[in-house]
A and B are shown apart, each in its own frame.
Chain A
């Protein structure tokens, strides 16, 4: 069974540009979560999608947005990039809502560097 896959592995952008990160969940998983791991700040929850809908949002500005496609894959968009957006962005997936004891399985992440 393929795990959560994220692309690209690394992404280098400059201030003000836009970045798009992609995530494919484990087959059969309908929930996708995005987390930001900036240096020294631990993992911060960004966005949660389930069945194509945004279910919850962390304390991030609106320039962080995303969507979930009919095949449950997801995209995270970051507009007007700032230096502090440099971080490892981790995507996780889990089965459909209701399986509360199921862990979230993570991808290997996209390392976004802002120059």
Chain B
């Protein structure tokens, strides 16, 4: 069964510094997608970044980058130049293969609560 592990329940980072949120995954599929979402205290889930299993380069989206190490089955999120508004829960997720090879539902890790200190 597929599984996502986030080992850091909570993290603190000083404003303007970089922070890495860890994520490891377990799957027997060759083709899979990895996602990071941000959930502020208001509850909405905000998509941040995507990495495909066949992508040769690490994904980047503005201040977010994904450190993808396929052999180690890790997909860590790096947030550069942290801002106070980055304080939130961060979830790593993997997409299961659906019917006929299509996209399927997401399997989520338990999340990391990031607190940015001024």
Interface residues of A, Cβ cutoff 8 Å to B: 31, 33, 35, 42-45, 48, 50, 55-56, 58, 88, 90, 92, 94, 97-109, 111
Contacts and interface: CB of A to CB of B under 8 A. Distances in A.
Contact of B45 (A55, A92, A100, A101): A92
A100 B105 CA distance: 11
B56 to A, nearest CB: 14
Query: Which secondary structure dominates where chain A touches chain B?
Result: strand
A100 B43 contact: no
A31 B103 contact: yes
B18 to A, nearest CB: 23
Contact of B44 (A45, A106, A111): A106
Given A42-B110, A43-B108, A48-B98, A102 B44 contact: no
A73 B91 CA distance: 26
